[in-house]
Amino acid sequence: MPTLTQLPAWRALWKHFTRARDWSMRELFDTDPERAQRYWLEQDGLILDYSKNRLTDQTLTLLLQLAREAGVPELIEAMFRGDKINVTEDRAVLHVALRNHAGTPILVDGEDVMPKVNAVLDRMARFSRAVRSGDWVGYTNQPITDIVSIGIGGSDLGPLMVCEALKPYAHPRLAMHFVSNVDSSLLKETLKRVHPETTLFIIESKTFTTSETLTNAHTARDWFLSSTGGAGKVARHFVAVSTNRKAVADFGIDPAHMFEFWDWVGGRYSLWSAIGLPIMLCLGEENFHALLDGAHGMDTHFRTAPLETNMPVLLGLVGIWYINFFGGGSHVIAPYDQYLHRFPAFIQQLDMESNGKQSTRDGRPVDYETAPIIWGGTGINGQHAFFQLLHQGTHIAPIDLIASLDGRGSLPGHHEILLGNMFAQAEAFLRGKTLDEARAELRAAGLDAAAVRALAPFKVFDGNRPTNTLLLQRLDPRCLGALIALYEHKVFVQGAIWGLNSFDQWGVELGKQLAQTIVGELSGESVPVPHDSSTARLIALYRQKNLDGEPSVE
């Protein structure tokens, strides 16, 4: 099997790049009036305009050829078939089964997983209905008013992002709280705002061994028991979501109050599983199903559409063009929507944890760039902050501008300012401002010739900076489901081209192992073992500050 850099399309792209690197997008638009119409896709309530990129039909033909030569279509089929494409963990990758509303059988080790997926969804729905209606009561017979979800990483970011994004659909009585950080300040501040008689804790952990989550969960249970004077019934106030039944029982949660999922659901792909219980509680069963439906629509499109009109494939390939050829090592996610303010952080984990790798699936080191650094924030706020670098800095960072087209729920006069800014920014990134234009602008503002000469160079913007514009028909559960699935599959396509296993996370596992030893040393439970001199000094300093009788650090 040839490596990526030996593929004919890879080589052809390099040759093509020697010309393409000097193209001006202004000229591409001037010479090709149909461009916006051609580089435009509509799918499952999403509109993607990818015309403001430094590419032509030939670039796309070569990129599509690269996808074929790298085996992207075969890997897509292998995922949907339930093959164990997560080779280092010997697992299938089946978040698509969680939203398989077609109900067609999906086999793992010869067993159709759909009946158990549907059974858990039914249990979640029954539980949500009871909590939302007020039938599920706390130990003093009062309805639940606050839900505290305790989890971290993949067991936190997805539910948090979706509950924020769909706030207008939230149940009016239920306040949602998310506790992820083990720094006790977050839990402390949350507990100040809730009452033990009316609070439901959901402990979210795939493994149920993650120390941050278990520490927060134990502290929350201690708080609950002590503030109810021991009268509180844990069974009415604590439920768990996990794959680890035994650890849930050991913690003291009745397995009857555990919602199950399976090892073939990766953490960062788990919001569609029982990890989405906070979402269902907040938004209701119907809206949760609409979210799944939107994602299922995108799954079907991804699996069946020709590569040429396949939205996740094209988004992935356009990214590859910059990362591997232009050398753009970062990528910006800029939603023009306050409800999507957690979306950049969610995509950051999805992309960087999936493709931040340097070995191929068969264990060879890569000799090309892989995942970019994903960063960003709400676009309109970014305009007053980091957009300066995007316009005039020396890095080229492609930007995804994301917004809801429908402004009807917005306060009068707001949505046009928001989208007006977004469209104007995209135009400015494309066109830039030439020296002549800068001079003309300054002259028109009444400056004299000397001032024009002095100031004009600073007012020059190179432009030619790539953007994708992604519009949601409206920010509703269905469109959001499609949007998230779009990015999941984009990440899949890039990982497939780079030959990576996008579904393991050994870097995260390392963090979990390393901390164990040092935590024992800090708490005084174990004697310090040899470390490098910097780590040893830091441990000694901590012990000196926090443990009695420790010698001072010289």
d(CA 297, CA 482): 7
List the structure tokens of 453: 């000469």
For residue 116, indicate whether it is catalytic: no
Span from 7-15, 83-91, 148-156, 462-470 in contact with ligand G6Q (CB under 6 A): 148-156
d(CA 451, CA 453): 5
Contact by Cβ (8 Å): 113, 94 = yes
Of 259 and 322, which has the nearer Cβ to ligand G6Q? Answer: 259
Among 146, 353, 476, 521, binds ligand G6Q (CB under 6 A): 353
Shortest separation between residue 202's beta carbon and ligand G6Q, angstroms: 12
Of 159 and 499, which has the nearer Cβ to ligand G6Q? Answer: 159
d(CA 122, CA 490): 30
Interacting residues of 185 by C-beta distance below 8 A, sequence separation 6+: none
Shortest separation between residue 336's beta carbon and ligand G6Q, angstroms: 27
SS3 state of residue 147: strand
Shortest separation between residue 459's beta carbon and ligand G6Q, angstroms: 44
Q: 429, 455, 431, 430: which is closest to 441 by C-alpha?
A: 455
Among 82, 232, 267, 379, binds ligand G6Q (CB under 6 A): 267
Of 263 and 437, which has the nearer Cβ to ligand G6Q? Answer: 263
Among 4, 70, 152, 374, binds ligand G6Q (CB under 6 A): 152
Q: Show contacts with ligand G6Q in window 507-526 (CB under 6 A).
A: 508
> Per-residue DSSP letters for 252-295?
T--GGGEEE--TTS-GGG-TTSGGGHHHHHHH-HHHHHHHHHHH
Q: Are strands 330-335 and 373-376 parallel, antiparallel or unpaired?
A: parallel
Shortest separation between residue 475's beta carbon and ligand G6Q, angstroms: 25
From the candidates 212, 353, 488, 521, give the one annotated as an active-site residue.
Answer: 353
For residue 353, indicate whether it is catalytic: yes
Give first-to-last CA distance, the chain, whole Å: 57
Task: Work out the number of other CB atoms within 10 angstroms of the CB of residue 442.
Answer: 19
From the candidates 101, 257, 341, 512, give the one annotated as an active-site residue.
Answer: 512
Q: Show contacts with ligand G6Q in window 404-463 (CB under 6 A).
A: none
Q: How far is CA 337 from the centre of its chain?
A: 16
Contact by Cβ (8 Å): 239, 127 = yes
**Does residue 153 touch ligand G6Q according to CB under 6 A?**
yes
Length of the chain: 554
Contact by Cβ (8 Å): 375, 332 = yes
**Does residue 205 touch ligand G6Q according to CB under 6 A?**
yes
| DSSP code for 436 | H
Of 159 and 196, which has the nearer Cβ to ligand G6Q? Answer: 159
d(CA 272, CA 372): 25
Shortest separation between residue 132's beta carbon and ligand G6Q, angstroms: 25
From the candidates 192, 384, 525, 554, give the one annotated as an active-site residue.
Answer: 384
List the structure tokens of 467: 């953007």
Span from 126-134, 152-160, 446-454, 479-487 in contact with ligand G6Q (CB under 6 A): 152-160
Shortest separation between residue 117's beta carbon and ligand G6Q, angstroms: 18
H or E element in which residue 148 lies? strand 146-150
**Does residue 206 touch ligand G6Q according to CB under 6 A?**
yes
For residue 341, indicate whether it is catalytic: no
Among 190, 505, 540, 543, binds ligand G6Q (CB under 6 A): 505
Interacting residues of 349 by C-beta distance below 8 A, sequence separation 6+: 153, 154, 157, 268
Shortest separation between residue 213's beta carbon and ligand G6Q, angstroms: 5
Q: Which residue is nearest to ligand G6Q (CB)?
A: 153
Contact by Cβ (8 Å): 475, 299 = no
Compute how many residues bind ligand G6Q; rule: CB under 6 A.
15
Shortest separation between residue 369's beta carbon and ligand G6Q, angstroms: 22
d(CA 349, CA 197): 35
Of 154 and 232, which has the nearer Cβ to ligand G6Q? Answer: 154
Query: Per-residue x/- mask for ligand G6Q, residues 29 to 68, rule CB under 6 A?
Result: ----------------------------------------
Of 267 and 382, which has the nearer Cβ to ligand G6Q? Answer: 267
**Does residue 210 touch ligand G6Q according to CB under 6 A?**
yes
Burial of 244 (0-12, 13-18, 19+ CB in 10 A): middle
Shortest separation between residue 151's beta carbon and ligand G6Q, angstroms: 6
Among 91, 268, 289, 478, binds ligand G6Q (CB under 6 A): 268
User: Which residues of the chain form contacts with ligand G6Q (CB under 6 A)?
Assistant: 152-155, 205-207, 210, 213, 266-268, 353, 505, 508
- Which sequence positions are flagged as catalytic? 353, 384, 512
